[in-house]
Amino acid sequence: MIVEPLSAANLDGFHALFEAASCACFCRYWHFAGTKNDWLDRCAHRAEESFVEQAEAVRRSDPSALGLVARADDAIVGWMKIAPVAAVPKLRSLPVYRSVPLVAGAEAATYAVGCFLIHPRSRRRGVARALLRGAEGHVRAWGGRVIEGYPRRSSEPLHDEEAFQGPEAIFRELGYEEVAGTGDSASWPYPVYRKVL
């Protein structure tokens, strides 16, 4: 499996992945300025607007479009949104994450894992793990020093669509430290994991 940055050269495969997974967001949620209902309407009726926005952002090297794709057998089988926290202000402005301080002195070099999307036929085969593992080298090359992840925690098994911010276990397996949601709040559904590179 090859992990590489999303680029103009692999946008068709990116589009095909989202279509195969029946996912209409094309990873623009974190950049959408309207209301939640406006977003849901866009996904239901004008999904291609999100793809066009993402494609245009990729072509102009906008940090909001950063992410990695996993390629196997000449097809894109996975996507991970990973961008500087400054490029995804909506994520860090959510009440559940707002109070978690960034690493002092590394604010501009902190990258956020916004989401994962894995092809339905490739789920539970290590694609998300490969993307997260591969992110470390790419983030270093982009000038990053810290990666943060925001997986969803649940006492019940999550459906694949509910775990879009990644399986919590892979963050632990790859040496990420839980920096929010620990101790008495171990059942807190919104932990934050961090790795200093």
Domain parsing of the chain, residue ranges: 2-196
Range of weakest confidence among 57-66, 71-80, 151-160, 179-188: 179-188
Tell me what pLDDT residue 165 has: 87
Residues 193/152, Cβ–Cβ less than 8 Å = no
Closest CA to 127 of 167, 82, 172, 74: 167
Above 80 in pLDDT, residue 155?
Answer: no
Predicted TM-score (pTM) of the model is 0.91
- pLDDT (average), residues 51-70: 96
Q: Please write the tens of the pLDDT for every residue from 82-96.
A: 999 999 988 888 888
User: Beta strand 110-118 with 146-149: parallel, antiparallel or unpaired?
Assistant: parallel
Which pLDDT tens digit goes with each residue over 24-46?
999 999 999 899 999 999 999 99
In this predicted structure, what is the pLDDT of residue 157? Answer: 78
- Over residues 133-156, the mean pLDDT reads 93
Task: Spell out the CATH class of 2-196.
Answer: alpha beta
Please tell me the predicted confidence (pLDDT) of residue 183: 52
Task: Check residue 94 and give its pLDDT.
Answer: 86
The stretch 56-61 carries a mean pLDDT of: 96
